[in-house]
Structure 1
Amino acid sequence: MDWADLFFISLGSAVVFYYGVKLLLFSRMLFPKVFFPLPKTFFTSQGEWAVVTGASEGIGRAYAFELAKQGMNLVIMSRTKATLDQVAKKISETTGQRVKVIVTDFMKENVFGEIDNQLRGLDIGVLVNNVGMLPSVVPSEFLDSKGLNEIITGLINCNVKTMAKMCRITLPGMENRGRGVILNISSGIASVPFPMYTLYAASKVFVERFSQALQAEYKDKGVIIQAVSPFGVSTQMAAYQKANLVTLSPEDFVESSLQYIKAGDKTYGSICHMVLGWFLRSIPLRILYSDSVLHSLQDYVKKKAVENANATKHATNGNSQK
């Protein structure tokens, strides 16, 4: 056997070993309850309180209810008091847990001093940084956004600054106690540079990198920090598309994502979204960035948004006539 044969055999073995390891790691994600089991008291062992931003609806609301079912008291935060009060009442009635409401607008400046004061002294075991701003459900080019200056400021405040500030407020207590969980909600479209959702996708890249680096810093101190990057979830940001195999309901997504808390510093939260992430990363960017693909995406989302708006309107009219 000459050196060339040895080289190609070694190269082939390395490739087989590499993809074998990746397949093994992927197979673990199919059975999270087996490979990443959580004891029944996992969440309550982290602390007495959970804090959820953007908790008035969608994913944030679902996290709040699920954590309350796990036995945690809740601090729920959003800018709409009436909706928060309704959520708080329902959580209390259905779970018996205490709920504290903090009304705030994360797109504004200088809101964190008051938040810090209201959270001071609480044994916070879980923080879910869920609040986020999407400039428009329908994708569009950067300069086509109306009120672009205000959008830039609001989006950075809401999607980037809020996450970092909330970590600053809650992380010291977790570090001192040697326990805690921080879930920072990113987005599947942050998997690649994503035109037409440029600002939103870029802000979610920050969420992922910040979370992964922060986990490297605090992993040995007993704190779990994870970026959760869903694709389609039936929320206002997705124009309330009907739940299906790909677009999950907020409740189904949250239930699934919590099974992956010990699966690493980033997760897609579900098997179907993990496959979507792999598929998106596999598409050559020159295809993804072609005018035909981008315009087709724009037309599809616009059509779905109109269909869902009409369906909601008809349902509302039907209910009002009963």
Structure 2
Amino acid sequence: MAAGVDSFHLLYREISRSCNSYFEALALIGALYAASRGVVLLRDCCMVARVHFLPRMMPSGRLTQRYGDWAVIYGAAEPVAGAYAEELARSGISIIFITQDGSSVRNTASFLSQTYGVETTIVTADFSLGQAAAKLVTEALRGKDIGFLVNCMDEMSASPRSLIKIPEQGVLDRVNRNVGAATLMVRLVLPGMVERSRGAVVNISSGACCRPRRGRVTLSAFTGYLDNFSRALHFEYSNKGIFIQSLIPFQISSSSSGQGWFAPSPAVYARHAVSTLGVSNRTTGYWPHTLQYGLMKCIPEWIWVLGFWVLLG
């Protein structure tokens, strides 16, 4: 029995001696991996501080001097777009509202004029009419120092709905408003910005472009388009003095009862988002949403989809 035990210990020592180099290599690989993850975490923390905190502590000057005196807001019927317009008006920027229904923004325009002393203009343009709507917008822009274009999707607050339950004309209208009209607005505003070598284009979509969701087929598609459209514009026009930004917020609460740390009011979100102008060309615009986005990206898509099936049946 003793001889058997001695033989085992001898065999164990021989195996340990022969595998020692492999253990050291595995330990080195583990240490390098842990160090790399630590560097990534540090980089992400620095990025959050640079994008969301430093600009609020050290403003970089008046927005009118950096970009221009006028802002064009498309999709202002959405609460977040209206709040973004108010934040710009607070900085002394006059607003042009482009909308299909003028009554939806009339109160907002009047409030901004009376509160902040800026000019406001409402252009009623139905982009399903094509060139006729474009002419109306072009006339409204003529002679103005347009410094901002803000495109906002009009489906951000819509309730989930299966694609086959949306009428065919409804699908065409949504594509026209969220893809066609947003693209055309950029086409109409960019020439003046390029000529002046300054300006900012902000496309507000949604974090729905990050992961698929049930009942949000069109929302995911439209947000994905606006996000990639913004990145392509940034690649093409950033060297011409134009700042292009893709904002991909997560939940924004329009009611005081539903507000929270991860669901800010439109006003709170807009205040944070405007501070990222000129800092990041692709951001959630609000630092708790950036944390949310980081956690979401850590989850493999198949686990995300499985979780939705389990939770929602």
Q: TM-score, normalised by structure 1?
A: 0.80
Q: How does 1:91-110 map to 2 (within 5 A)?
A: 91-106=112-127, 109-110=130-131
Count of equivalent residues: 291
Aligned in 2, Cα 1:127/1:151: closer, same or farther, shift over 3 Å? same
Comparing 152-161 with 30-39, which one deviates more in the overlay? 30-39
Q: 1:6-25 alignment to 2 at 5 Å? A: 9=28, 12-13=31-32, 16-17=35-36, 19-25=38-44
- Does the CA-based 8 Å contact 2:256-2:265 persist in structure 1? no
1:78 aligns with 2:99: yes
Change (3 A) 1:107 1:245: farther
The residue that corresponds to 1:259 in the other structure is 275
Output the CA distance in 2 between the equivalents of 1:66 and 1:175: 24
- Of all paired residues, the percent bearing the same amino acid is 25
Greater Cα offset, 187-196 or 109-118:
109-118
Distance 2:73 2:156 in 1: 18
* Secondary structure of 1:40's aligned partner: coil
- Contact kept in structure 1, 2:68 and 2:148, CA below 8 Å: yes
1:195 corresponds to which residue? 214
The 2-side partners of 1:140 and 1:88 are apart by 31
Counterpart in 2 of 1:118?
A: 140
| Counterpart secondary structure, 1:289 | helix
Alignment of 1:182 onto 2:198: no
CA contact (8 A) 2:212 2:305 kept: no
**Post-superposition offset of 1:4:** 9.6
Q: CA separation of 1:213/1:15 partners in 2, compared to 1, >3 Å: closer, same or farther?
A: farther
In structure 2, the CA distance between the partners of 1:4 and 1:109, relative to structure 1 (3 Å rule), is: farther
The alpha-carbon deviation at position 80 of structure 1 amounts to: 2.7
Partner of 1:127: 149
Tell me if structure 1 keeps the 8 A contact 2:123–2:136. Answer: no
Q: Which amino acid aligns with 1:249?
A: S
Could you tell me how far apart the structure 2 residues matched to 1:106 and 1:4 are?
67
Q: Provide structure 2 residue ranges, at least 5 long, that are not aligned to the other structure.
A: 1-19
Could you tell me how far apart the structure 2 residues matched to 1:259 and 1:135 are?
24
Q: Which runs of 4+ in 1 moved over 6 A?
A: 1-4
The TM-score, its normalising length taken from structure 2, stands at 0.82
Residue 287 to residue 21, structure 1, CA distance change in 2 (3 Å): closer
* Deviations 1:157-206, CA, capped at 9 Å, x for gaps: 11111221111111111111111111100101111233320111111011
| C-alpha contact (below 8 Å) 2:156/2:206 kept by paired residues | no
Label 1:221 to 1:96 Cα distance change in 2 as closer, same or farther (>3 A): same
| 1:52–1:127 CA contact under 8 A, matched in 2 | yes
Q: Could you say what secondary structure the match of 2:285 adopts?
A: coil
Do the aligned residues in 2 keep the contact of 1:195 with 1:289 (CA within 8 Å)? no
Q: Distance in 1 between matches of 2:64 and 2:309?
A: 42
* Equivalent residue number for residue 319 of structure 1: none
2:295 is equivalent to residue 274 of structure 1: no
Render the CA deviation track for 1:34-56: whole Å, top value 9, x for unaligned.
26844231344311111111224
Q: What is the DSSP-based 3-state SS (H/G/I as helix, E as strand, rest coil) of the residue aligned with 2:148?
A: strand
1:1-322 equivalences under 5 Å are 9=28, 12-13=31-32, 16-17=35-36, 19-30=38-49, 32-34=52-54, 37-106=58-127, 109-110=130-131, 111-133=133-155, 136-137=158-159, 139-143=160-164, 145-147=165-167, 149-235=168-254, 242-290=258-306, 293-294=308-309, 296=311
SS at the partner of 1:253?
helix
CA distance in 2, matches of 1:250, 1:34: 21
CA distance in 2: counterparts of 1:258 and 1:165, whole angstroms: 23
Question: Which structure has the bigger radius of gyration?
Answer: 2
1:304 counterpart residue number: none
**RMSD in angstroms over aligned alpha carbons?**
2.8
How much has 1:296 moved relative to structure 2?
Answer: 4.1
Contact 2:200-2:242 at 8 Å conserved across structures: yes
Unaligned residue ranges in structure 1 (runs of 5+): 299-322
Output the amino acid matched with 1:45: R
Aligned to 2:16: none
Distance 1:296 1:82, change over 3 A: same
CA pair 9-113 structure 1, distance change in 2 beyond 3 A: farther
Contact 1:124 1:180 in 2 (8 A): yes
**Displacement, 1:24?**
2.3
CA distance 1:16–1:72, change in 2 (3 Å): same
Q: Structure 1 residue 79: deviation in Å?
A: 2.6
- Name the CA distance, whole Å, in 1 between partners of 2:174 and 2:97: 20
